[in-house]
Copies of this chain bind each other. A is one copy, B any other.
């Protein structure tokens, strides 16, 4: 029997989900947490085979928490469970150690299939995400770490000069990055750039 822990702040969802898993016969829920802090306290005792992890936690980013969990318990298979269907989020989760990714509007059988797959050491993407990751789309934009950093600073309202000061580069360099970001995202100006960055969860 596969042991599963769930971490999600939506209490209504966790109850239903725990029921679903327990009644499936393939897995059993050994713990539920509603925040990353709760989870840190218990995860060492639970030692689940699979951790169902919501990306939209109240206290920390799911990406960071996934990395944290994998660093401390590499044997736990993390299965992301979230509302986000953006390329950048999926990719960041997978890059940070997640074994699978489910969107919350997936069917119940996909949840069980995902749990079984990641418990067996395989990777699993639900149908919708599988399509998203395979289909080469102009919306599937991937930025370098430096570009993401610049985008973050731009969205915080820093001017080229201020950014240059903060990260010890020439203002002309910042200008170059900015031009490149506009080109890469196909944005007309800063307003659109920030909008796309937030909508596509690039920062």
Bound-complex Cα distance A105 to B32 (A)? 14
Chain A interface helix/strand/loop/mixed:
helix
Could you say which of A15, A56, A108, A191 has the most chain B C-beta atoms within 10 Å of its C-beta?
A191
* In the assembled complex, A192 has its CB within 8 A of some CB on chain B: yes
* In the assembled complex, A146 has its CB within 8 A of some CB on chain B: no
Flag if A104 contacts B195 (CB, 8 Å).
no
Return the contact of A15 from the options B11, B20, B83, B190 (Cβ within 8 A): B20
**Count of chain A residues with a beta carbon within 8 Å of a chain B beta carbon:** 36
Residues of chain B lying within 8 A (CB to CB) of residue A159: 189
B-contact 0/1 string along A167-193, CB 8 Å cutoff: 000000000000000000001111111
Residues from 63 to 105 in A contacting B, C-beta threshold 8 Å = 83, 104-105
Flag if B13 contacts A10 (CB, 8 Å).
yes
Bound-complex Cα distance A9 to B15 (A)? 17
Q: A10-B13, A11-B108, A12-B16 are in contact. Are A195 and B198 (CB under 8 A)?
A: yes
* In the assembled complex, A106 has its CB within 8 A of some CB on chain B: yes
Residues in chain A within 8 A of chain B (CB atoms) = 9-13, 15-17, 19-20, 34, 56, 58, 83, 104-108, 111, 154-157, 159, 187-195, 198-199
